[in-house]
Chain A
């Protein structure tokens, strides 16, 4: 049986599935339910500094987009950090950690960008015996207008500064949570590392408007006729999050920096993909807000089953395994040639491959052969773009088949070269590095 116990920067949990800092981790009641369901750890919803608690809007906090059967694809929120009293939260954290010693409890923090504020909060969190802290530099709405959250996360110098303060003032491991609302996520990751962070977690939510009411012309979610951009999450953001995780994992400056992966993780497979790209564990929110805590049972069983099937003994066997295969475009092998092939037995003749190719691509798929409705690839026109595979409603009906070295590429009229050759040496590249003669 695969061992899925997780050790993330020294924080141990029975599995790599944590709940992200969010409404599901705002109080003991929810967290205890999550632990009972089997979650390995939680990042407690962000605490602010001592004083009057923050206030939330009293209208809709969430907006969403859906598939046709109301499957929730993306969620957006304008909720702020915890609106409960700091001392209540601290008491609850301490009690839950005492009652659930084998589970990870990390406390998310967001206080003003002055050292005194951090110096004040860190000891009281430490006193709860929580396993670590996560710095909320990502919250994109509300708090960012007050110079916190994403307002810090968008300025690498601030990140480095705050992380340094924290490392100087606590023994707890520090996880720096990054905002995706930035051009190059490697910059804040490098800054966090420079400040001494133990790990980064990403992504926080993405600035978003989920819809517009076309009667009132108000953005959604709508508060008394107005809307504010919220943070977008859920399955729709997963590809964006995975790229950012991979960028940090493969960046020479941050390579090896532990990453807690976040962004649309819903199933064991999503989690495995994040971990393969370099995440040491994962955090989940939207999926439990959609389906409840029970989904962790599927995640645990699914991950174990896959690892058993593939012979992966522990998480170390999978974390980062895909990272070396993420590269820059310029290093892709331009001598690799693939052609689409349509399995005629599987084809249901919807013709979507044809019309996609005909209208928008390379006119490489027939619609009629000998007077009969028939869809097949015209190899001489096929550039191997994969669009037909993507629009085909039947899984594995259209596949991309690589041409073997030496085989004739009917499109170019040339045999496929066995030699790896990329753009850096391509004759059309004015910057090509010409081999020394």
Chain B
């Protein structure tokens, strides 16, 4: 029987113990002091800077970089946190290559943008390392706000509301706060339990009570919140995972990628985490990449991402695709799953069909391909589950399956705001969720101030 890396089926302990630590170390190690000074000097301090306009939270990037260059990382961190209290995590997980760094004039000029994300991490690391708190709560207003979900949107909203003097209760279904920052990010992007450190940093302002294990629709209803609080912010994210729509997808070894990623993040011993010898990931977004790369890093021999469209249509950024390739993941395009083949109830292979554009329509060509696999990850998107909102009496208006909000984050229900992945128009980015939570909080504050 093959052992170690070549164990058949889904198994843990494929690698030597020390390899796990190496494989899951920081993807982008922090800049040291001198590196930060050199990198910050590359910033041109652009007028009406494109990077700032590309940032969903509109961080004053040229200013914070200039503050690093003058030896003022604390002031730099405040510039960042003024706009984005989760600037530490965003520095780690933002796809900067499609946001600020994509439009950096040095990217335009020489294909080498200023490393804005790593500089942001440098400054926020300094401030958080010193536990430097920049904000104090305004005089207590006596108003209470319920926040559903302790993810990026909920935390950003809570912090801003607490600053304005309101008392915030966050109701979180999971055992830990942080949302996708805690459960949905590849481990090598957020090492050293950073998500929890950030939750502590954000809540240190006071006036934020996080209650874990409280799921909307199970433990309480929206109507309860509307009755008991002056305002409600919904930031519960996406609860559903899209199905493959392939025959046999309930076989053992077919797993939701988001669950695998969450399990990996929570694992205290990575060696104990089982992974297939031959893994196929279905999907073309960040989740597919995270699941594929981490499978490889856990010791899977062969990992293949199958995406039903071409490379240009992949939601995963070019950087992410390169990262996958560099880790030995094969990305195959124009393939859609048709049938999961099982032996004894366990996945043994997956049959796929080639696809092509038929005019505007994607269609199968009829040509089939079978890939041997002992584990299949579904990463073809998540969906909002509105069921939890039911039972509240009033119906909240949806748009394309997600909560409909106006420009300020107001839902169709009075006193109820929403932000993050659960709203229509959300783009699955931490940084966008932060912006929506923050802006909804400002709207709530204005509303509460009017009485």
Contact = CB atoms under 8 A, between A and B. Distances in A.
Interface of A: 67-70, 348-352, 354-355, 367, 373, 393-394
Contacts of A393: 44, 109
Nearest to A351: B47
B44 A350 contact: yes
B69 to A, nearest CB: 7
Interface string B15-53: 000000000000000000010011011001111111000
B50 A68 contact: no
B105 interface: yes
A352 B37 contact: no
B105 A68 contact: no
B126 interface: no
Contacts of A351: 46-49
B41 A67 contact: yes
A367 B41 contact: no
B106 interface: yes
Contact of A373 (B41, B44, B48, B106): B48
Contacts of B45: 352
7 contacts: A68-B38, A70-B34, A348-B108, A350-B44, A350-B105, A351-B47, A351-B49
B54 to A, nearest CB: 12
Nearest to A67: B41
Nearest to B43: A350
B37 A68 contact: yes
Contacts of A367: 47-48
A68 B41 contact: yes
Nearest to B53: A373
A329 B146 CA distance: 72
The interface centre, meaning the residue of B38, B47, B106, B109 with most chain A CB atoms within 10 A of its CB, is B47
Nearest to A375: B47
A352 B46 contact: yes
Contacts of A373: 48, 50
Most chain B beta-carbon contacts within 10 A, residue among A67, A70, A351, A354 = A351
Contacts of A352: 44-47
B109 A348 contact: yes
Given A69-B38, A348-B105, A352-B45, 15 more contacts: A67-B41, A68-B37, A68-B69, A70-B34, A348-B108, A349-B108, A350-B105, A351-B46, A351-B47, A352-B44, A352-B46, A355-B47, A367-B47, A393-B109, A394-B109
B62 to A, nearest CB: 10
Contacts of B34: 70
B23 to A, nearest CB: 32
A10 B79 CA distance: 64
A68 B42 CA distance: 9
B50 A349 contact: yes
Interface centre among A67, A69, A350, by most chain B C-beta atoms within 10 angstroms, is A350
Given A68-B37, A69-B38, A350 B69 contact: no
A348 B106 contact: yes
Given A348-B108, A348-B109, A349-B108, A68 B47 contact: no
Nearest to A394: B109
| Top-3 shortest CB links A-B | A351-B47, A68-B41, A355-B47
A349 B45 CA distance: 12
Interface string B103-125: 00110110000000000000000
Contacts of B44: 350, 352, 393
Contacts of B50: 349, 373
Contacts of B106: 348
A354 B106 CA distance: 17
A67 B105 CA distance: 21
Contacts of A349: 46, 50, 105, 108
Nearest to A68: B41
A294 to B, nearest CB: 24
A348 B50 CA distance: 11
Interface string B427-445: 0000000000000000000
A361 to B, nearest CB: 14
Query: Which of A348, A373, A394 counts the most B-chain CB atoms under 10 A from its CB?
Result: A348
A68, A70, A355, A373 interface centre (most CB from chain B within 10 Å): A68
Contact of B41 (A69, A350, A355, A394): A69
Interface in B53-111: 69, 105-106, 108-109
A393 B48 CA distance: 16
Contacts of B46: 349-352
B40 A68 contact: yes
A354 B45 CA distance: 12
Nearest to B108: A348
A321 to B, nearest CB: 35
A350 B38 contact: no
Contacts of A350: 44, 46-47, 105
Nearest to A359: B47
Contacts of B48: 351, 367, 373
Nearest to A356: B47
A305 to B, nearest CB: 27
A393 B45 CA distance: 11
A350 B105 CA distance: 6
Contacts of A67: 41
A354 B48 CA distance: 10
Nearest to B106: A348
A398 to B, nearest CB: 14
A351 to B, nearest CB: 3
